[in-house]
Amino acid sequence: MGGATIVPAVETSFTVNGQTVHMALDPRESLLDVLRERLGLTGTKKGCDQGQCGACTVHLDGRRIVACLMPAVQANGRAVATIEGVASPDGVLHPLQEAFIEHDALQCGYCTPGQVMSGLACIAEGHVGSDAEIREYMSGNLCRCGAYAGIVAAVRQAGRSGI
């Protein structure tokens, strides 16, 4: 075994929910760990850390990504949006969050932030033409409690209300 690597930190700056952050980051740190462990934004969940479950879905420049597979330094100069920024600052929920509640589109709630972030992107991408299309484009987000029917109903409702 060789000696341990010393990895120089990389100065990084990006916005999270509109606020600018500057940090010196180990280039191996995932965006997920930076959000959760350094920025205290624990709404974004770790379900596999391998890009397979979708629990850590956030938006990068408006597109959905899994934060566990993105080195945080790659977010340099870009805009990150997380579940904490979806409701308005005065606490008014986004229509998709309301729709999740109205259709009980959750149980344990652990995958829910990722589902909401994916649902927002699914709507923005225009993939709400049919239930089958919603199901297909929401299939990157696993839900072990099995709340899928409610999730489809919530995305359909919010998607068709023209947000």
Partner 1 sequence: MTAAAARPRVDARAKVTGAARYGTDRTPEGLAYAAMAVATVGKGRVVEIDTAAAAAVAGVRLVLTRFEASELKPPVYIMAGGHAVQSLQPLLSDHIAYRGQPIALVVADTPVAATEAANRVCARYEAAPFALELDDEDAEKLRQPEALPVPALADIAVGDAEAVFAGSEVRVDEVYDHPKQAATPMELLGCVVEWRGDTVVVHEGTQNAGALRNGLALQLGIDPADVEVISPYLGGGFGQKNSLQPHLGPVALAARRLGRPVKFVMTRPQTFHQGSFRPASRHRVRLGADGNGRLTAAIYEVDQETSRHDLFPAMYTEAMSRLYGVPNFSGPTRLVRVDTQTPGYMRAPFESPASFAFESAVDELAYAVGRDPVALRLANDTGTDPITGQPFSSRHVAECLRRGAERFGWAARDPAPGSMRADDGSLIGWGVAIGAYPACVAPAIAHVRAGADGRVVVAVDGHEMGQGIRSAITFLVADDLGIAVDRVTVDIGDTRVAPQHLTAGSWGTASALPAVHAALRELRARLGVAETGMLDVGAAVAAAGQPTVEAEAATLGPGQPPEMLDRSRAGKVAFTGPVYPGFTSFSFVAHFVEVRIEATTRRVRVPRVVSVVDCGRVASAVTAASQVRGGVVWGLGAALREASEPERRYGGFFNATMEEYVISVNADIGEIEVDFIDEPDPLLNPVGVKGLGEVALVGVVPAVTNAVFHATGQRLRRVPITIADLL
Residues binding partner 1 (CB under 8 A): 1-7, 26, 28-29, 33, 36-37, 40-50, 52-53, 55, 82-84, 86-87, 93, 97, 100-104, 106-113, 116, 132, 134-136, 138-139, 141-152
CB of 114 to partner 1, least distance (A): 9
Give DSSP secondary structure letters for the chain.
--PPP-PPPEEEEEEETTEEEEEEE-TT-BHHHIIIIIS--TTS--S-SSSSS-TTEEEETTEEEEGGGSBGGGGTTSEEE-GGGTS-TTSPPPHHHHHHHHTT--SS-SSHHHHHHHHHHHHHTT--SSHHHHHHHTTTS--TT--HHHHHHHHHHHHHTT-
CB of 160 to partner 1, least distance (A): 15
CB of 127 to partner 1, least distance (A): 12
Nearer to partner 1, 26 or 60 (CB): 26
CB of 61 to partner 1, least distance (A): 20
Nearer to partner 1, 62 or 109 (CB): 109
Q: How is the chain split among helix, strand and coil, in percent rounded to 5?
A: 35, 15, 45
Nearer to partner 1, 14 or 86 (CB): 86
CB of 41 to partner 1, least distance (A): 8
Nearer to partner 1, 14 or 43 (CB): 43
Nearer to partner 1, 87 or 163 (CB): 87
* φ and ψ of 134, to 5 deg: -60, -45
